[in-house]
Structures are given as C-alpha cells and as structure tokens.
Amino acid sequence: MTEREGVITFQGKPLTLIGPAIQPGSEAPHFTLTANDLSDLRCDTYRDKIRVLSVVPSLDTPVCATQTRTFNQRATQLSNDVVVLTISMDLPFAQKRFCGAEGIERVITASDYKHRSFGPAYGVLIKELGLLTRAVFVLDRRNKVVHVEYVPEVTHEPNYDAALAAVKAAT
C-alpha cells in the first residue's frame, strides 16, 4: 500500500497517509462503510446522486463537529439529488447520538471502523493514529471525482465554498 509522508500535519507534526492521492477526473474508488443501523453502505448506494464525502477524524472533536454542522446547514440549500456523507472511524452508535444531539438531518454519517476500506482507498488513513484525516471529495452521478481537498493541517476546516461550487458544477 502506498504511504505518503508529510502530506498533512496534526498540530504542526507531519503524519503519514496510507493510500493513493485521489485526483479530480479519476473514477471514485469503491468502499463499504457501516451505516448507523449497522448495515453496509457502499459507494454505489447513492450512485444516481451527487455525493459529498466529508471526512473527519472524530465527531467528538470541535472542528469535526463544526464541519458536520456546517455541511448539514449548507446542504439545506442543495437539491435532493445531492447526498452529504460524513465519514469517520467513530462507532455508528456514537455517530447516531451526535446527529440526534446536534439536530443533523441532511448529513448521513457512516463509519469506516468495521471494513476499513474507505481510508486506504481514498488515501485518508493516518498511519500513526489509525484515524481518517480531514478531507472532502465530491463525486458526480457517473462516479467521477470532481473535487478533492486533503486539508493540510488536521485541526483546520475544509474549504466549504470550493466543495459546494463543485457540487453546483456537477448538477
């Protein structure tokens, strides 16, 4: 498996990402995640929709919570042809509890804890921590990647406007 050193930092300390650097225009890698009801959620579950994959280390941290709340709020302005998934290693029970407590209704949370297929496929698995790094991917209806952002410093928020501009361009 490909290892990419120093692509991201956590509080200024360089870390290693496992997996390839996904590029816009490429075919979206397949994955299997675990939904809040413990069922499998696959990349093609929403194949006829535009998908925003909002990747966070853990919903139990302030920046990850902010990222999820922000995408939830901004998703209310998007059509029903757009699905926003927040993906982390958090257990599905914790994700469901977070969504209930925060009133998250337009974002679907999914976990990579069980299958661990998403992190290495999208190059977001942090070797040193066993968590996913902060990133955003936008996939169009043809399963092509139209936007990629690996946030260089894990404690920073992504560029929401750039991701949503890619969604609008793919509509």
Torsion sign over Cα 64, 69, 74, 78: positive
- The two structure tokens encoding residue 1: 């498996």
* Per-position DSSP letters for 79-125, written without gaps between them: -TTEEEEEEESS-HHHHHHHHHHHT--SEEEEE-TTT--HHHHHT-E
Active-site residue identified among 64, 82, 104, 166: 64
Rounded CA-CA distance 139/101 in Å is 28
- The two structure tokens encoding residue 23: 């590029």
Q: Please, are residues 64 and 107 in contact by the beta-carbon 8 Å criterion? A: no
Please confirm, yes or no, whether 99 is among the known catalytic residues. no
Residues 6+ apart with CB under 8 A from 24: 145, 146, 147, 148
Q: Which of 120, 21, 135, 129 is nearest to 67 (CA)?
A: 135
CA atoms within 13 A on the CB side of 122: 34
List the catalytic residues.
Answer: 64
